[in-house]
Amino acid sequence: MDNPFIKYSRSDDYIIGNLKTLSSSYIPDNLPHREQQIELMARSLSSIMHGGIASNILLYGQSGSGKTSSAINVTNMLRSAAGDRVSIHYINCEIYDSHYSIMVHMVNSFIGEEQIPNLGLPFDRIYYELVKRIKSRNLYTLIILDEIDRLLSKNGSDSLYVILKLLGDTEGSIIGITNDSSFINKLDMRVRSRLNAESIIFTPYNADELRDILKFRINGVIKNGFIEDSAINLCAAIGAQEHGDARKAIELLRIAIEYCIRENRERVTIDDIYMARERFEMNILKESVKTLPIHSKMVLLSAILTQEVSSDIAVTGEIYENYKNICAEIGLQPLSTRRISDLMSSLDDLGLIVTTTRSMGRYGRTKLIKVSQPVAIKNYILEDENFKNFQGSRIVRQSKLRTNYDDI
Ligand SMILES: Nc1ncnc2c1ncn2[C@@H]1O[C@H](COP(=O)(O)OP(=O)(O)OP(=O)(O)O)[C@@H](O)[C@H]1O
């Protein structure tokens, strides 16, 4: 057999650097078109260099506007200038979403110290331990709270209050990162006045800026000429249309490059970018379906299968009946109609279903459900282990009027 890897070695002709630097988690040393925001942050943090306390900073901007990368970039420079005196903690509040989990994480970041368990200790003990570890080293603590609004939606203002208190009891400040421009208005007064943050706005990138960013990211990685200029321009235009999203523009280009290399193509063209966009959107869809709770998957599957047998838009009552049939086939207890109603609203929020309300005359009103992209979604749901032996044999066409539940 011919060695299949030989044909892929041709990719050496086009790749002159490390392709990993095009991944969305890679943070480059330079961020074109963010010089102003980086300078503002550096100026604000510079008082740490003279033994002072920096202001708290809030970074606002849409997804993919370079907030996280800029914050990490600046704090890396601070670390190399200030050395061991500054202790920098990057916290993603989607993962660490309470003051308890954040502080356990911080306590356990001190190398050479005893580790504490993630759960079970009283909070006072954790707080005391953290203050002790910071003070005994005479550290300035800088906490980057990425997606800081998650803290608020989970615990109100309390978690942020406790974090600010810690930074008052020791010495330190935060850099908060959010997409929510009304974040500050949602804080209660005691936290707002304690926070007293400087705001830095990350305006959306326009197509010209995204083109520069793309060229900068591929420079030294991909050989000149392998990507047609029109392909780069298209990625930049798509990113600009999507609220100036650099992440999307870079991802599209990366997917297209990897595809062209695998397929031994001479060049990356605009057709490859369109193909990458389709894949990118499919990946997002797959991820949002895969991560749904099991009952949401069953409701969604019921909507798709009901739609199939009715060759129509399904009404909520029909979906609930078939959802119960799916539960019976899989061996799970069905949830109440009220709970299913909540699950349907979340599916609507995620854009997986479209809901419209229709009057049914003397039978009251009902909601009509249409699943967007049913074929792809059905395949993703059936990949779940729970549906391994699922046949759909109990799915039946329901009478719309008999199965109309007002409370779904
Ligand atoms: N100016 C830039 N130059 C080079 N790459 C950039 C630039 N801005 C953003 N990127 C890249 O785009 C991707 C997204 O950036 P980043 O995560 O910093 O955005 P964000 O505003 O924090 O987004 P989110 O709100 O979704 O977390 C990253 O791969 C980042 O390296």
The domain that contains 284 carries what CATH number?
A: 1.10.8.60
Q: Is residue 220 a part of any domain in this protein? A: yes
Query: Is ligand 1 within 6 A of the CB of residue 69?
Result: yes
ipTM value: 0.98
The Å distance, Cα 360 to ligand 1 centre, comes to 49
Answer yes or no: do 132 and 263 share one domain: no
For atom 27 of ligand 1, the residue with the nearest CA is: 63
Residue 69 has pLDDT above 60, yes or no: yes
Q: Is residue 125 a part of any domain in this protein? A: yes
Instruction: Give the residue ranges of the annotated binding site.
Output: 65-69, 205, 217
Residue type, 237: A
173: burial class by Cβ within 10 Å (0-12, 13-18, 19+)? Answer: buried
Answer yes or no: do 188 and 221 share one domain: no
Q: Cα–Cα distances in Å, from 300 out to 312, 339, 373, 377?
A: 15, 14, 11, 8
* Number of domains composing the chain: 3
Answer yes or no: do 39 and 115 share one domain: yes
For ligand 1, pick from 27, 69, 90, 235 the residue to mutate: most ligand atoms within 8 Å of CB: 69
Answer yes or no: do 192 and 321 share one domain: no
Q: Cα–Cα distances in Å, from 252 out to 103, 223, 231?
A: 37, 18, 10
Q: Is residue 262 a part of any domain in this protein? A: yes
- Mark which of 151, 172, 202 sits at the end of a domain: 202
In ligand 1, which atom is closest to the CA atom of 33? 1
Q: Is residue 397 a part of any domain in this protein? A: no
Residue 405 has pLDDT above 60, yes or no: no
The domain that contains 77 carries what CATH number?
A: 3.40.50.300
Q: Cα–Cα distances in Å, from 264 out to 5, 70, 153?
A: 12, 36, 48
Answer yes or no: do 59 and 198 share one domain: yes
The Å distance, Cα 20 to ligand 1 centre, comes to 15
Q: What is the pLDDT of residues 297-344, one digit of tens each?
A: 999 999 999 888 776 667 788 888 899 999 999 889 999 988 998 899
Query: Is ligand 1 within 6 A of the CB of residue 63?
Result: yes
The domain that contains 338 carries what CATH number?
A: 1.10.10.10
For atom 25 of ligand 1, the residue with the nearest CA is: 63
Answer yes or no: do 259 and 334 share one domain: no
Pair of tokens at residue 268 = 């990356």
Answer yes or no: do 250 and 296 share one domain: no
Closest-CA residue to 127 (of 88, 95, 163, 90): 163
- Report the pLDDT value the prediction gives residue 311, as an integer from 0 to 100: 63
Q: Please, which pLDDT band fits residue 54 given cuts at 50, 70 and 90?
A: very high
Query: Comparing 94-108, 300-314, 332-346, 379-393, which segment has the lowest mean pLDDT?
Result: 300-314
Q: Is residue 20 a part of any domain in this protein? A: no
Closest-CA residue to 86 (of 178, 161, 167): 167
Q: Is residue 404 a part of any domain in this protein? A: no
- Mark which of 255, 272, 289 sits at the end of a domain: 289
Answer yes or no: do 212 and 193 share one domain: no
Which position has the higher pLDDT, 37 or 403?
A: 37
- Report the pLDDT value the prediction gives residue 5, as an integer from 0 to 100: 57
The Å distance, Cα 246 to ligand 1 centre, comes to 6
Residue 234 has pLDDT above 70, yes or no: yes
Query: Is ligand 1 within 6 A of the CB of residue 211?
Result: no
d(CA 343, CA 339): 6
In ligand 1, which atom is closest to the CA atom of 25? 29
For ligand 1, pick from 68, 149, 208 the residue to mutate: most ligand atoms within 8 Å of CB: 68
Query: Is ligand 1 within 6 A of the CB of residue 179?
Result: yes
Answer yes or no: do 120 and 175 share one domain: yes
Answer yes or no: do 302 and 184 share one domain: no
Answer yes or no: do 241 and 332 share one domain: no
Answer yes or no: do 95 and 43 share one domain: yes
- Mark which of 175, 202, 229 sits at the end of a domain: 202
The Å distance, Cα 353 to ligand 1 centre, comes to 30
Residue 11 has pLDDT above 60, yes or no: no
Range of the domain at 301: 292-387
Instruction: Give the residue ranges of the annotated binding site for ATP.
Output: 65-69, 205, 217
For the segment 58-84, the average pLDDT, to the nearest whole number, is 94
